[in-house]
Amino acid sequence: MGTNPEGAALSGWDSLSNYKEGAFQNLTAKLDSIKHDRWLFLKRRPESIRPSSALPWVKTDLKKLVAPAPTVVWFGHSSLLIKTGQGNILIDPVFSNHAGPVPGVMMAFKGTTHYDAEDMPEIDVLIISHDHYDHLDYRTLKKLKNKIKQAIVPMGVGADLVYWGFDRKKIVELNWHQSATISGGLQITATPAQHKSNRSYSTTNKTLWASFVIQSGQYKIFYGGDGGYGPHFKQIGLQYGPFDLALLECGQYSPNWPWTHLWLEQPAQAAADLQTALLQPIHWAKFVEADHPWTEPIETLIPAAEKLEVPLNVPRIGEPYTLGEQPKQNIWWE
C-alpha cells in the first residue's frame, strides 16, 4: 500500500497555496462535499461493462523502436511509453493483470496483459501522475526499479517509491508549475489537475496529483493524468500550449466522482481548451472502474471531437504512433 510522507518530508508545505490543513487542495473549492453511493455498482452495472472477447493488440519490440519524432505506445488504461530523441519516458505503468492492492479484484480485460516490465527498454524518466492503484502499481515498479534512471512525481508520491526501495536521489517531486530537465534535454513540467489522492480510506489528499507538459525538442505533449473538467485546461493551453498531442482520460466516469474524471464529450472540450493538434483518449479499454458500457466513452467522444474539429488518434494496444504520421483511426473496438 506504500506510505504517506511524514516528518521532514513535509517541511515548508504549509506555505504552499494548494496545501491547507494538512492536505492538498484543488483549484476549485470544496468539491469533496459530494455524497457517494457505495452500492451504485450493484444497481446499474450493464452487461456490456466488459468486452465479450479479447481486445486486439500489436506486438512491438520496444527495445528496438526507432523514433524520428516522439513515438507513443499505449498499453491500455493510462500506461504509456514515449520514445524521444532525448530519452524514453514511461508513464503510469500498470502491468499487473489487476488494479488494486488485492489480486483478483478489478481484473484487466483479455488482450491487455501482453506487455510486462521485461518488455520495457531502459527508462530515462518515469512519470507518475498520482498515487491511485490504477496509476501507481507496486508490483510493476518493483520489477522496473533497476531500469529507471529517474522518476518525476507530484509532491509526496516519492515517499511510496522510497518505501519500495527506490533511491531518493533519483526521485524529483514537483508542485504544480514546477519543472525538471533530465539529461538529454527533456523538460517535464507538472501542471494542475482536478482530482484527489489516497491509497486507503483512512487518509486522503496527503500527496499531490498532477498533469504534465512534456517538451522534447520542438514537440510538446500534454498528459492529463486523472482529473475532471475545469478552467485549468484553458489556462494550461494559454500558458504552455499549443500542443502536438494531448493524452486525456476517456472513461471511468461516475456519479460517485462527477468532478474527478472527464465525463462524456468533455475530453474533446478539454483538448480544444489545450490548443492541441491531436487528441488520444486514454484511461479506457483495460479496467472496470465505473458502471458504463466499456465502449461508451470512445463512441461518444468521436462525434464530440468532430464537432469541435479535434482530430483523434486511437491506436490499438501496443501499436506505435509517431507524431507527424496520419492518426490511427480504425474502429478496432467493435
The number of angstroms, rounded, from the C-alpha of 152 to the middle of its chain's C-alpha atoms is 13
DSSP 317: B
**Model confidence at 177: pLDDT above 70:** yes
The residues spanned by each domain of the chain are 59-322
> For position 258, what pLDDT does the model report?
85
> For position 35, what pLDDT does the model report?
53
What separation in angstroms does the CA of 162 have from each of 4, 153, 190, 242?
11, 12, 20, 35
Across 96-100, 187-191, 192-196, 246-250, least confident range: 96-100
Mean pLDDT of the chain: 94
Distance, in Å, from the CA atom of 30 to the CA atom of 16, rounded to the nearest integer, reads 18
What separation in angstroms does the CA of 127 have from each of 62, 79, 180, 273?
18, 10, 11, 23
> For position 46, what pLDDT does the model report?
84
Q: What is the mean pLDDT of residues 213-226?
A: 98
> For position 43, what pLDDT does the model report?
59
Could you tell me the sign of the dihedral formed by the alpha carbons of 317, 263, 82, 322, in that order?
positive
pTM above 0.85, yes or no: yes
**Model confidence at 223: pLDDT above 70:** yes
Percent of the chain, pLDDT > 90? 86
Tell whether domain 59-322 is in CATH 3.60.15.10.
yes
* Coil, strand or helix at 148: strand
Virtual torsion, Cα 250, 254, 259, 264, nearest 10 deg = 40
pLDDT digits (tens, 9 = 90+) for 44-70: 678 899 999 999 999 999 999 998 999
The number of angstroms, rounded, from the C-alpha of 242 to the middle of its chain's C-alpha atoms is 20
Beta bridge mates, 276 = 243
> For position 201, what pLDDT does the model report?
79
**Model confidence at 36: pLDDT above 70:** no
Q: What is the mean pLDDT of residues 131-160?
A: 97
Give the three cell numbers for residue 228.
475532471
> For position 40, what pLDDT does the model report?
54
Listed residue (91, 95, 65, 66) closest to 80, CA to CA: 91
- State the DSSP H helix or E strand holding residue 236, giving kind and residue range, or none if neither: helix 232-240
The number of angstroms, rounded, from the C-alpha of 298 to the middle of its chain's C-alpha atoms is 17
pLDDT digits (tens, 9 = 90+) for 109-136: 999 999 999 999 999 999 999 999 999 9
**Model confidence at 2: pLDDT above 60:** yes
> For position 202, what pLDDT does the model report?
79
pLDDT digits (tens, 9 = 90+) for 271-297: 999 999 999 999 999 999 998 999 999
